[in-house]
Chain A
């Protein structure tokens, strides 16, 4: 599986935007970029995914670099509830399973 690299942890202030980076320099043409998050003591939760174009949904935005070797998850206005581990994951279009890395632990400061 192609690997992703994320910072171990980040901090942000409540009500400010958060940009979570992810590097995936060995991404292949058939890999989708997925983001999941895991709130404390809960199961993982889908956030967003994309292939080449930037994507928006009610939870977040995903900005994908033109060469697809990096991406950024954007939380437009962080709340305390957004404190979680955020996982950037590559999934081949044929791949059912999700391979989780260590992710980025996001701390939100009130």
Chain B
């Protein structure tokens, strides 16, 4: 069964450093998402992406964050200058269609630890 993959599984970085989290969505999917989950808290929506542009973003997704689909298979989340509070699990998801009837498929996550 096709699945969303994410690399790395764990990233440790120093505060102020840039990180890039990578995702390979399911191949025929057109809609891509990033979510994050701080330890012990709810899963939070960050951004949705379609047709090479952001379709929606949350208040969390400020100027420090950016997303890109650099080629036909990868979808990346960049955090320009990491802060301690960016430590969280970051989940990528993809879906074939959009709207309230679609199914989003989530990857296993990248655990980001900012020291």
Contact residues of B between 42 and 72, Cβ < 8 Å to A: 42-45, 48, 50, 55-56, 58
Question: Residue on A with the closest CB to B6?
Answer: A43
CA distance A109 to B105 in the complex (A): 28
Say yes or no: A97 contacts B101, CB within 8 Å: no
* A20-79 interface with B by 8 A CB criterion: 30-32, 34, 38, 42-46, 49
For B56, what are the chain A residues with a Cβ–Cβ distance below 8 Å? 96-97
Residues of B within 8 A of A46 (CB): 103-105
Contact B106 A97 (CB under 8 A): no
In the complex formed, the residue of B with least CB distance to A47 is B103
The answer to whether B106 and A45 have CB atoms under 8 Å apart is: yes
Known interface pairs A42-B108, A101-B42; A96-B91 also in contact (CB < 8 Å): no
The answer to the question of A81 belonging to the interface, with a C-beta cut-off of 8 Å to chain B, is: no
Residues of A within 8 A of B100 (CB): 30-32, 34, 91-95
**Which residue of chain A is the closest to B103 with respect to CB atoms?**
A46
The answer to whether A10 has its CB under 8 Å from any CB of chain B is: no
Per-residue A-contact encoding for B4-31, CB less than 8 Å = 1, 0 else: 1000000000000000000000000001
A interface, over-half SS: loop
Q: Does A98 contact B (CB under 8 A)?
A: yes
CA distance A32 to B100 in the complex (A): 6
Are B48 and A94 in contact, with the CB atoms below 8 A? no
Please indicate which of the listed interface residues B4, B91, B100 has the most CB atoms of chain A within 10 Å of its own CB.
Answer: B100
15 additional A-B pairs beyond A44-B43, A96-B56, beta carbons within 8 Å, are A32-B101, A42-B109, A43-B91, A44-B91, A45-B106, A87-B43, A91-B100, A92-B100, A94-B100, A95-B100, A96-B33, A96-B50, A96-B55, A98-B45, A100-B42
Instruction: Across the A-B interface, give the 3 residue pairs with the lowest CB-CB distance, nearest first.
Output: A43-B106, A91-B100, A100-B43
